[in-house]
Amino acid sequence: MTATLDNDIQDFCEYISTVRRLSPHTVSNYQRDLEKLSAYSAKENISHADKIHAADIRRHVAELHRKGLGGKSLQRYLSSVRALYTYLNKQGRSKNNPAVGIRPPKSQRKLPSTLDVDRVNQLLNFQADAWLDTRDKAILELFYSSGLRLAELVSSNIEDLDLADASIRVTGKGNKSRILPMGSFAIKALQDWLAVRNNVNTTDNKALFISKRGQRINPRTVQARIKLQALKQGSDQKVHPHMLRHSFASHMLESSGDLRNVQELLGHADISTTQIYTHLDFQHLSKVYDQAHPRAKKRNNK
């Protein structure tokens, strides 16, 4: 008896989890996307994968778009469907791949939120006396100094630090490693943190940042602590880890104008991803122009 679509999805998720050893987070993303396909197919009375055609996928994408799903989410959905059918083709369960060649509607590209230099200084210039504050300051300084992703910071180990060389080795997307420079403020904050890090019993001697329970710090903890520190320093913006990464990139580009260098520091595979910061830089220059140029603004007086 031919396996149902739900059986196929279950087998595929088990395959990418046990054979390909993808992370639980990635497997969960695939599962959520493919549940959408399952729900749509059930509504259309389609129970088997080989009965789904390109026209069905196009209709489903259009339906999801009408419900408010953005271009990036739809792109991920299509990628998940293509991956499912690639697996089914190899297993001999289907001869087609209905998502091939289908592109999602383009969504408007949003510029990332950043902090200006004064607000960054306001956020970072605090006295760290308590254990948690010392850790938080080191985290904040490292984010802004080197432009790390949240996952990169959480997975960093003590051995990745080279304080003498003022650098840190991080492992980014695609398991690619890169070495990033660190500024003097970040180095000082990290030295202070390492001096008190072992004041709690730790179960992870490798982890650079640990929780009060001695375990490797959780991404949600980092997010919550950054939000809390921003409130304590009087920030009126909702500060999160990626905002510090965006601020790092924007300020680097403002100062250097070297897009390729910023791309390398951020670990972007494609320079088009980095180019969004040129729009931020232009916004900054436009404000300066409006404030400084005598004929920049329209005059009401005739």
pTM of the model: 0.57
Distances (CA, A) of 178 to 157, 200, 266: 14, 30, 9
pLDDT at 293 over 50: no
Check residue 147 and give left, alpha or beta (phi > 0: left; psi -120 to 50: alpha).
left
pLDDT at 302 over 70: no
Amino acid identity, position 35: E
pLDDT at 124 over 50: yes
Under 8 Å between Cβ of 97 and 103:
no
Question: Between 264 and 227, whose confidence is greater?
Answer: 227
Count of other CB atoms within 10 angstroms of residue 81: 25
Domain assignment present for residue 109? The answer is no
pLDDT at 278 over 60: no
Catalytic residue among 30, 85, 144, 277, which? 277
pLDDT of residue 112: 65
Domain tally, the chain: 2
3-class secondary structure for 206-217?
A: CECCECCCCCEC
Catalytic residue among 48, 65, 82, 149, which? 149
Mean pLDDT of 13-36: 94
Q: Please give the residue range of the domain that contains residue 14.
A: 5-91
Catalytic residue among 60, 245, 246, 251, which? 245
Q: What is the CATH number of the domain that holds 249?
A: 1.10.443.10
pLDDT at 130 over 80: yes
Given pLDDT bands bounded at 50, 70 and 90, which one contains residue 107?
low
Instruction: Indicate whether 201 and 75 sit together in one domain.
Output: no
Q: Is 51 a catalytic residue?
A: no
pLDDT at 110 over 80: no
Q: Is 242 a catalytic residue?
A: yes
Instruction: Indicate whether 260 and 215 sit together in one domain.
Output: yes
pLDDT at 129 over 60: yes
Instruction: Indicate whether 266 and 137 sit together in one domain.
Output: yes
Domain assignment present for residue 301? The answer is no
Instruction: Indicate whether 75 and 137 sit together in one domain.
Output: no
Mean pLDDT of 206-224: 95
Q: Is 246 a catalytic residue?
A: no
Last residue of some domain: 91, 126, 147? 91
Angle at 254 between CA 249 and CA 260, to 5 degrees: 60
Instruction: Indicate whether 81 and 145 sit together in one domain.
Output: no
Write the DSSP assignment of 271-295 as a string of letters: HHHHTHHHHHHHHHHHHHHHHH-TT
Q: Is 53 a catalytic residue?
A: no
Mean pLDDT of 2-25: 91
Q: For residues 176 and 121, give the distance between their C-alpha atoms in angstroms, rounded to a whole number.
A: 31
Q: Is 268 a catalytic residue?
A: yes
Catalytic residue among 36, 82, 188, 242, which? 242
Chain-wide mean pLDDT for the chain? Answer: 85
Under 8 Å between Cβ of 189 and 137:
yes
Catalytic residue among 43, 173, 206, 238, which? 173
Instruction: Indicate whether 179 and 256 sit together in one domain.
Output: yes
Domain assignment present for residue 158? The answer is yes
pLDDT of residue 285: 43
Instruction: Indicate whether 243 and 130 sit together in one domain.
Output: yes
pLDDT at 235 over 80: yes
Closest CA to 31 of 49, 57, 55, 11: 11
Under 8 Å between Cβ of 2 and 48:
yes
Q: Is 178 a catalytic residue?
A: no
Dihedral, 182, 188, 191, 193 alpha carbons, nearest 10: -100
% of the chain at pLDDT higher than 90: 56
Instruction: Indicate whether 81 and 156 sit together in one domain.
Output: no
Q: For residues 122 and 142, give the distance between their C-alpha atoms in angstroms, rounded to a whole number.
A: 16
Dihedral, 201, 166, 265, 287 alpha carbons, nearest 10: 100
pLDDT of residue 282: 45
36-50, 87-101, 117-131, 254-268, range with the lowest pLDDT: 254-268
Q: What is the CATH number of the domain that holds 61?
A: 1.10.150.130
Domain assignment present for residue 103? The answer is no
Domain assignment present for residue 105? The answer is no
